[in-house]
Amino acid sequence: MSSAYAEIAEALENYFSGFYEGDVETLEKIFHPSAHLYAATEGPLTDRDMEQVYEGVRSRQSSASRGFERFDRILSIDQSGPEAAIAKVQIALGDQLYTDFLNLLKLNGRWQIISKVYTGEPRPAAARQEAAE
């Protein structure tokens, strides 16, 4: 494993933990302030800036507080030069399982997400059942 891969994987822990725990301060460590999140899961393009994303995180119960088992994984990291990469990850939040494509740049010595394209689907029934017990 390259040192850059390890650095990116370590930085992504802020992404996974921040969303699972509903912690905006942790998410601010990985997202660039100018980042946008894009999806077309309901037809038209949705484009959320970071303030909209953080407001959504603040206004909902976290997966951790709702008793959902944490599930996240890195599917791939593709690096292009020493300062650019894309990570394909999966993260379960509540009843949804998301596949995310995260564009990252190394800025001021740390990896930051500058944009995210994602899609979601219902979380497998077994994981939802565990949370209900």
Per-residue pLDDT of the chain (133 residues; tens, 9 = 90+): 568 899 999 999 999 999 999 999 999 999 999 999 999 877 899 999 999 999 999 999 999 999 999 999 999 999 988 899 999 999 999 999 999 999 999 999 999 999 999 999 998 764 544 444 4
Torsion angles phi and psi, residue 65, rounded to 5:
-70, -20
Classified as helix, coil or strand, 15 is helix
Which residues, other chains included, contact 10 with Cβ-Cβ below 8 Å and sequence gap of 6+? Answer: none
Topology, domain 3-132? Nuclear Transport Factor 2; Chain: A, (3.10.450)
pTM: 0.89
- Contact indicator for 32, 15 with CB cutoff of 8 Å: no
CA 6 to chain centre: 17
